[in-house]
């Protein structure tokens, strides 16, 4: 499974302007609704419910909110580089500026976990994150995500 299988160029947000975790999840849910053709509220509720279980702020300025939706037909991901870092209740208590949302079909099981591991592996690479933080355009960010993913294949 490649990052390009999860995320398309239209799912990259190069300068998301939000001031809180809730606002970030709302805006990302709105964008995900366009991509998945599912109700924004349904996506938002799944992401918030997952956050209640424990933060998806994994540290080093990265969050990977995720959830499963019964009406999805395949895995979908969105990537956002925030204009300004926000508090995301991350495990290292540092603000977050890179967010990758992963949405999976209810029965995705192992595929969901593999996709999460893939995204996590990619975003643990400090060089990749520096490049993402230094990129201004959606095209450049998409290129970094997909090119870097090839070198991080499991």
Q: What CATH code is carried by the domain that includes residue 141?
A: 3.40.930.10
- Across residues 36-63, what is the average pLDDT? 96
Name the domain count of the chain.
1
Q: Work out the average pLDDT over 83-108.
A: 95
Where is pLDDT greater, at 42 or 148?
Answer: 42
Residue with tokens 């349904």: 42
* Those residues with Cβ within 8 angstroms of residue 91's Cβ, 6 or more apart along the chain or in another chain: 55, 57, 58, 59
CA trace torsion 107, 40, 100, 144 (10° rounding): 110
Q: Would you give the distance in Å from CA 27 to the centre of its chain?
A: 12
Which residue's entry shows tokens 């893939």?
A: 118
User: Could you give the 3-state DSSP secondary structure of residue 77?
Assistant: strand
pLDDT at 154: 46
For range 126-133, the mean pLDDT:
96
Tell me the pLDDT of the chain averaged across its residues. 93
pLDDT of residue 50: 95
**Are 129 and 61 a contacting pair, CB within 8 Å?**
yes
Q: Among 147, 146, 140, which residue's Cα sits nearest to residue 13? A: 140
Question: How high is the pLDDT of residue 109?
Answer: 79
Residues labelled catalytic: 66
pTM equals: 0.93
pLDDT of residue 144: 95
User: What pLDDT, on a 0 to 100 scale, did the predictor assign at position 8?
Assistant: 93
DSSP letter, residue 91: T
Residue 148 has pLDDT above 70, yes or no: no
Question: Is there a contact between 65 and 47 (Cβ–Cβ < 8 Å)?
Answer: yes
Structural domain span for residue 101: 3-151
pLDDT per residue as tens digits for the range 8-21: 999 999 999 999 99
Residues of the chain with pLDDT > 90, as a percent, come to 85
> What pLDDT is stored for residue 149 in this prediction?
53
């Amino acid at each position: 499974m490649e990052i390009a299988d999860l995320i398309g160029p239209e799912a990259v947000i190069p300068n998301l302007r939000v001031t809180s975790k809730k606002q970030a999840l709302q805006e990302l849910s709105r964008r995900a609704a366009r991509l998945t053709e599912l109700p924004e509220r349904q996506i938002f509720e799944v992401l918030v419910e997952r956050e209640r279980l424990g933060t998806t702020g994994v540290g080093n300025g990265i969050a990977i909110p995720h959830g499963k939706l019964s009406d999805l037909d395949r895995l979908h991901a969105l990537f956002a580089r925030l204009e300004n870092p926000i508090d995301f209740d991350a495990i290292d208590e540092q603000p977050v500026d890179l967010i990758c949302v992963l949405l999976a079909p209810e029965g995705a099981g192992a595929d969901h976990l593999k996709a999460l591991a893939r995204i996590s592996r990619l975003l643990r690479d400090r060089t990749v994150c520096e490049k993402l933080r230094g990129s201004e355009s959606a095209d450049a960010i998409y290129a970094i995500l997909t090119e870097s993913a090839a070198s991080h294949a499991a």
